[in-house]
Amino acid sequence: MSNESRKSAGFKDRTPVTTARQTLLDAVTPHERTERVPLRDADERVVATEITAERAVPHYRRAAMDGFAVRAEDTFGASQRSPESLRVGETVTTGTATRVHTGSELPDGADAVVMVEETEVTGDSVTVFDAVAGGENVAPVGEDVAEGQTLYEVGHRLRPSDLGLLKSVGNDTVEVYEQPTVSVLPTGEELVQDDPAPGEVIETNGQTVTQYVERWGGAATYRDIVTDDVDALRAAISDDLDHDLVVTTGGSSVGERDLLPEVVDDLGEVLVHGVALKPGHPVALGVVEETPILMLPGYPVACIVNAVQFLRPALRRAGHLPATEPPTTEAELTRKIASEPGTRTYARVELHDADANEQPTATPTRASGSGVLSSVALADGWVVVPESVEGYDAGDTVTVEDWEWSQ
């Protein structure tokens, strides 16, 4: 559809959310850039090559208990009624025991450890009240990790416990995929960064999107505000096509100053313009020289909704990051939520804790108003009303999604 046709038609035909999201994901190619980073910088990064253990853990036989290292056969028959007496020495030989602590290297000649609770020391002798078998209370070489064992496959997202394990096997760096790069272009001639005059608006969408990109595992470039001018918009997009994704905010609808779909269509192709969701149906998706372009609406709430629905999954695919679902809370709705049939609605709600035997409650912060940033900033989550449902009534149990999750 041409830009003029699109503007005259408005958004009578809107693409379903799932279809639009898949269209964008189909245009995203996961990058193959990797880098080696210190373990201290690798939390939540994605493994780019298979990782195997360079050494065993433990790399020596070690005592698993405080006590005495012994030859197991020297304790055979020992009991509370018939204990065995062994000499205490520096080395373990027949009839001799050596004191050890948890984690100590097992002395040569020893093959077991008697727990200190089952012994009694008198002078240079130790009385043993419990027999042990060979290998008892001993951690063998490689009990935790064997040398050469595969630890992590490509695509695993590293956690602090993983990094501790890697350090234990001798790694101090790890090969990971580079973070996907995202150019964030705030647009609009009315936008300023501070001290707004009448008719001017503080730029928040670009900053918000930038911080979401970083929370979601990407590396964002937050550009200066671009005015509503075809040549300026063309230049801004063209200059950042070396990024994995380009995201614009504002200028995505069909008004006289909504120039971005026209610019993207001229530079490449608009794949979707208008999605059946509320708030934020004037979102547009495109591709220029194989770089996906996501054109977010200018209203702050609509911008956030679409960033979560489209930018997050696209960014995670570009960077080999796992796709995860948001945490949810089941709650009882205190007021009705209305929704237009055929449209997926994201209704912001506040959660309130209930008594021990009752569900939490969810109260809508505002039924409408995609330009009211406080309605999302002060909310605890949103209720997703699917296209097939006309809304929910007070008293219904609803699922509240926490869109602020970062994993």
Looking at the fold, whether 187 and 171 belong to one and the same domain comes out as no
pLDDT computed for residue 404 by the predictor: 83
Say how far apart CA 192 and CA 249 lie, in whole Å.
14
Please provide the average confidence, as pLDDT, over all residues in the chain: 92
Q: What amino acid is encoded at 74 in this protein?
A: D
Confidence of residue 255 (pLDDT cuts 50, 70, 90): confident
Q: What percent of the chain is predicted at pLDDT more than 90?
A: 85
Residue 161 three-state SS: helix
Strand pairing of 328-333 and 291-296? unpaired
pLDDT digits (tens, 9 = 90+) for 263-295: 999 999 999 999 999 999 999 999 999 999 999
- Look at phi and psi of residue 163 and say left if phi exceeds 0, alpha if psi is from -120 to 50, else beta: alpha
Say how far apart CA 106 and CA 138 lie, in whole Å.
8
Dihedral angle sign, alpha carbons of residues 121, 127, 132, 134: positive
- 49 domain-assigned: yes
Looking at the fold, whether 14 and 50 belong to one and the same domain comes out as no
Q: What amino acid is encoded at 162 in this protein?
A: D
- 250 domain-assigned: yes
Looking at the fold, whether 122 and 81 belong to one and the same domain comes out as yes
H helices of 96-250, in order, are 160-168, 205-215, 230-239
Number of domains in the chain: 4
pLDDT computed for residue 367 by the predictor: 47
Looking at the fold, whether 166 and 275 belong to one and the same domain comes out as no
| Cβ–Cβ < 8 Å for 345, 337 | yes
- 407 domain-assigned: no
Confidence of residue 111 (pLDDT cuts 50, 70, 90): very high
CATH of the domain at 157: 3.90.105.10
Average pLDDT on 304-327 reads 95
> What residues have CB less than 8 Å from 142, skipping those under 6 apart?
56, 57, 58, 59, 149
Looking at the fold, whether 375 and 277 belong to one and the same domain comes out as no
The CA angle 314-317-323, to the nearest 5 degrees, is 95
Of 90, 111, 139, the domain-final residue: 139
Looking at the fold, whether 168 and 183 belong to one and the same domain comes out as no
CATH of the domain at 210: 3.40.980.10
Check pLDDT > 50 for residue 230: yes
Average pLDDT on 237-243 reads 98
DSSP state of 323: P
Looking at the fold, whether 293 and 389 belong to one and the same domain comes out as no
pLDDT digits (tens, 9 = 90+) for 204-223: 999 999 999 999 999 999 99
- 396 domain-assigned: yes
- 168 domain-assigned: yes
- 167 domain-assigned: yes
Looking at the fold, whether 240 and 312 belong to one and the same domain comes out as yes
Looking at the fold, whether 379 and 366 belong to one and the same domain comes out as yes
Looking at the fold, whether 105 and 227 belong to one and the same domain comes out as no
- Strand order of the β-sheet with 67-70 is 112-115, 67-70, 96-100, 84-88, 125-128, 119-122
Q: What percent of the chain is predicted at pLDDT more than 70?
A: 93
The residue range of the domain holding 356 is 328-401
Of 299, 319, 339, the domain-final residue: 319
- 352 domain-assigned: yes
pLDDT computed for residue 379 by the predictor: 86
Exposed e or buried b per residue across 146-170, where buried means at least 16 C-beta atoms within 10 angstroms of its C-beta:
eeeeebbeeebbbeeebbebbeebe
Of 276, 297, 319, the domain-final residue: 319
Average pLDDT on 328-348 reads 94
Which stretch of 63-72, 88-97, 209-218, 373-382 has the lowest confidence by average pLDDT? Answer: 373-382
Looking at the fold, whether 12 and 48 belong to one and the same domain comes out as no
Looking at the fold, whether 184 and 277 belong to one and the same domain comes out as yes
Say how far apart CA 15 and CA 271 lie, in whole Å.
10
- 406 domain-assigned: no
| Cβ–Cβ < 8 Å for 42, 92 | no
pTM score, whole prediction: 0.85
Six-digit token pair at 117? 């609770």
pLDDT digits (tens, 9 = 90+) for 143-193: 999 999 999 999 999 999 999 999 999 999 999 999 999 999 999 999 899
pLDDT computed for residue 76 by the predictor: 95
CATH of the domain at 72: 2.170.190.11
Query: Residue for token digits 């290297």?
Result: 105
CATH of the domain at 352: 2.40.340.10
